[in-house]
Amino acid sequence: MKFYAYFSNKQRLALVVLVIVILSFQLSWVSYDKLPMDTFDIPTETYLKFQKEVDSLLTIQNQRSVATIYPFNPNYITDYKGYGLGMSSEEIDRLHAFRSKNKWVNSAKEFQQVTKISDSLLKRIAPYFKFPD
């Protein structure tokens, strides 16, 4: 009760009015759901034009992110490299077993015979083979 003794009647009234104003602002803020969304009426042809441009930029970005395969010696294919080329673990293991006998692969056909990879996979990766002279 000493709290009321420090303020005059006018100050107490001003304090009550201030609290009521603050509470009314907070209640109005909470009750106001959302700000209205801006809607743009864009003609369909303009929208399709921009969508086509965005799609073309996305395809260019996806093409750039594809990994580049550099020429390599197939005798030194690691598990990681073989998996990246599309080889199964059995095919990679066959190559490693062949190499553990201290033998070398000297052609794409011999590589296919050793690893038993499919013709389609061989056609896809054989251009990147680089055998020593």
Q: Which tens digits make up the pLDDT trace of 8-35?
A: 889 889 999 999 999 999 888 877 766 6
Does residue 108 form part of some domain?
yes
Categorize the per-residue pLDDT at 36 as very low, low, confident or very high, splitting at 50, 70 and 90: low
Quick one: the chain helix, strand, coil %, rounded to 5?
65, 0, 30
**Locate tokens 């033998």: which residue?**
103
* Total domains present in the chain: 1
| Per-residue model confidence as pLDDT tens digits over 58-107 | 998 888 877 788 899 999 999 999 998 899 999 999 999 999 999 999 99
Does residue 85 form part of some domain?
yes
Q: What angle do CA 99, 104, 105 make, to 5 degrees?
A: 110
Does residue 119 form part of some domain?
yes
* Range(s) of the domain holding residue 87: 75-128
Does residue 115 form part of some domain?
yes
Does residue 118 form part of some domain?
yes
Does residue 98 form part of some domain?
yes
Does residue 53 form part of some domain?
no
pLDDT > 60? residue 38:
yes
Tokens for 74?
């197939």
Scored b (16 or more CB within 10 A) or e, 51-80 reads eeeeeeeeeeeeeeeeeeeeeeebbebeee
Does residue 107 form part of some domain?
yes
